[in-house]
A = this chain, B = another copy of it.
Amino acid sequence: MTDAPDLRQRLIEAATQLFAESGYDGVGLREIAKRAKANLAMISYHFGGKDGLYEAVLREGFLRCPSKLSQLERPLPDPAAPDARALAIEGLRVHLQSAVMDLQLGLAQDPLDRAFMAVVLRELAEGGPRLEALDREFMKPHFEHLANCLGILRPGLSDEDRVSLGLAVIGPVLACALLPGLFRLRNDGRPFPADGQAFAEFMLDHTLRALGVEGA
């Protein structure tokens, strides 16, 4: 991991960790080079500059993560099917578990993946120019799957209310990922959630109760 074979990879790993900790403006290239046990000039040579390195961090992260993202199968419920509601409920469960996994709330073992997700969340929060690409890559698939399931379980909402409902379901997971320090405080210093699976189940149960659906 830290002793990756080639320099390029070491630089990307070091940069991912440091950007995750301190943000783009908070780290210098010298520090990154030092952590990667590489020479400063190698950053310009391999990536063309700090911006190029940052983009490489995101690009390589994209390439590395999709295979890990949504490892759980996520069947799209067919509204016309006779068991549509049951499928939607199962879809909702898979969606929540998947979101909790993706956002590294306790299931991700690889520190590099955790750091990468922190970079992504930081970028989403800043609302910068890369927001649309990140949304398309990370958030949109989840939101669409979520919207499908919710549309079956609660049809006929206004546009505004549909967004609100989606937010009511996924918001807790997002908030938890965006404010890890705060929820550590809320949980007496222990990381929260302690058990990602149980957390996802709790949120699923909460959502199903709100939707007036009997839990599967």
Which A positions have Cβ atoms within 8 angstroms of B? 22-23, 25-26, 122, 124-128, 131-132, 135, 139, 143, 159-161, 163-168, 170-176, 178-183, 185-187, 192-195, 198-199, 202-203, 206-207, 209-212
Contact = CB atoms under 8 A, between A and B. Distances in A.
Nearest to A184: B127
Nearest to A178: B178
A170 B175 contact: yes
Contacts of A171: 171-176
- Is chain A's binding surface mostly helix, strand, loop or mixed? helix
A154 to B, nearest CB: 10
Contacts of A126: 23, 181
Contacts of A199: 164
A195 B160 CA distance: 9
Contact of A182 (B122, B124, B185): B124
Nearest to A134: B182
A161 B175 CA distance: 16
A202 to B, nearest CB: 5
7 contacts: A127-B180, A159-B187, A163-B183, A171-B171, A172-B175, A174-B174, A174-B179
Contacts of A192: 160, 163
A168 B206 contact: yes
Contact of A168 (B159, B172, B187): B172
A178 B175 contact: yes
Given A26-B25, A171-B175, A187-B163, A127 B181 contact: yes
Given A209-B210, A210-B207, A160 B198 contact: yes
